[in-house]
Amino acid sequence: MGHPVVAVAIVFVSAAIAMAASSQYSHHPLDPLTATEITAIRAAVLASPLVPARPLFFHYVGLDEPDKPDVLSYAYGAADAAATSSQMTLPRRAFVIARAGGQSHEFTVDIAADNASVLSHAVHRGPGFPMFTDEDQIAAMALPYTYPPFVESVRRRGLDVGEVGCGVLSRGWFGAEQPAYGGARVVKMKCVVVDYNATANIYARPVEGVVMVVDLDRMAIIGYRDRAVFTVPKAEGTDYRADKVGPPFTGPAAPPGVVAAAVMVEEAREVEASARAARWRWRRCWW
């Protein structure tokens, strides 16, 4: 049986899924970055001599929103020609957080049409780290399967290592007195039994008692504890899917005149979504 890394990744990874965007230059200052702009931003950061360390990983790329008075001027502008001109030249910039050389780097990038240039750079010296990347989480998930103490812990619980999936949900709590592990970028990782045929509620079946500490920069398990062997909860009675729970949780049949949920789902397929707005009997902009 293969390791359920991919299946667990769907649950544990807060996947950063970018919406499809037009490559044309945005006409509103709060429009999201387009794919073309993101490509230009990436190229500008990688070409900058300010951070020679490699590899460099992008943890966040987003719009650096202009000041509110400038946005209001753009939206409602004055009648004079000078104000109209300023609306057309409102700066468009991006804010980038990247990791390289064991440090967190913050960039401000100017975007002009399809080109970009780095305006400023700073190293983050305070507490905290940027959000996890998908690569961070997927690589960390794979570590336990070749870590002998973990394999033994799984065996002691009467499980096969292929039944277990581990994930990085948050950094974890390490105490308030001293920086954890010398201030390294570490996370605590927990595991669950993964069997979607038995239940979709995998969180109800934790491998209790086992905690791993992973250094995400070194991508290695640097701390491990198996404090006690607990029985893994059974899957029966934990599933929340409608076709599994049955009545009374599925509820009675819809009364006459009430639109069933299935019909609403069919109508919802008429929703049109773009990088800027959603439309379905109404229009909602993201900004």
pLDDT, average across residues 220-225: 96
pLDDT (tens digit per residue) in 187-196: 999 999 999 9
| pLDDT band, very low/low/confident/very high, at 79 (cuts 50, 70, 90) | very low
Q: Which residue segments constitute the domains of the chain, with CATH numbers given?
A: 5-9+133-226 (3.10.450.40), 17-123 (3.10.450.40)
Residue 181 Rama label (left phi>0; alpha psi -120 to 50; beta): left
pLDDT, average across residues 155-176: 90
Dist. CA 18–CA 99, nearest whole Å: 20
pLDDT of residue 10: 37
Please report where in the chains the tokens 């905690």 appear, as a residue.
211
What average pLDDT does the chain have? 82
pLDDT (tens digit per residue) in 102-142: 999 999 999 986 689 999 999 999 888 999 999 999 999 99
Using DSSP, state whether 47 is helix, strand or coil.
helix
Q: What angle do CA 107, 108, 114 make, to 5 degrees?
A: 115
Whether 81 and 46 have beta carbons less than 8 Å apart is answered as no
pLDDT, average across residues 172-187: 81
Lowest mean pLDDT among 107-116, 227-236, 263-272: 263-272
Q: Which of 48, 54, 65 is nearest to 121 (CA)?
A: 48
pLDDT greater than 90 at residue 37: yes
Lowest mean pLDDT among 22-26, 114-118, 258-262, 270-274: 22-26
| pLDDT band, very low/low/confident/very high, at 268 (cuts 50, 70, 90) | low
pLDDT of residue 125: 92
